[in-house]
């Protein structure tokens, strides 16, 4: 398997050396494409920094809603 990897890499290096113009043109094309893509990224002057909200549903079978609120929900809210 090691010889297969080295033959693949040496084949890629041989291709790059024999086709220098194509490799250079492809590199420049990718560089220009990346620069244009970076330039077109949307940037907000005032990004939305709203607080994150979490909804937790507390259930305690056999207990009244008020008791669940006092013993479970309210302590969770205060953390």
- Tell me the C-alpha distance between 61 and 64, whole Å: 8
DSSP conformation letters of 18-77 = HTHHHHHHHHHHHHHHHHHHHHTS---SS---PPP--------TTS-HHHHIIIIIHHHH
Residue 8 lies in a domain: yes
- Average pLDDT of the chain? 86
Q: State the residue range of the domain holding 33.
A: 2-41+54-78
Q: How confident is the model at residue 1 (pLDDT cuts 50, 70, 90)?
A: low
Q: Report the distance separating Cα 20 and Cα 59, nearest Å.
A: 69
In a domain, 47, yes or no: no
**pLDDT tens readout for residues 9-64:** 999 999 999 999 999 999 999 999 999 999 999 887 777 777 777 787 888 888 88
Structural domain contains residue 48 = no
Total domains in the chain come to 1
In a domain, 46, yes or no: no
Single out the residue of 44, 45, 46, 27 nearest to residue 35, CA to CA.
Answer: 27
pTM for this entry = 0.48
């Amino acid at each position: 398997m090691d010889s297969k990897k080295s033959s693949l890499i040496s084949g890629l290096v041989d291709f790059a050396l024999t086709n220098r113009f194509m490799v250079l043109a492809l590199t420049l094309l990718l560089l220009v494409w990346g620069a244009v893509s970076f330039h077109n990224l949307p940037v907000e002057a005032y990004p939305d920094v709203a607080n994150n909200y979490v909804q937790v549903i507390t259930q305690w079978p056999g207990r009244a809603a008020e008791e669940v609120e006092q013993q479970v929900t309210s302590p969770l809210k205060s953390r």
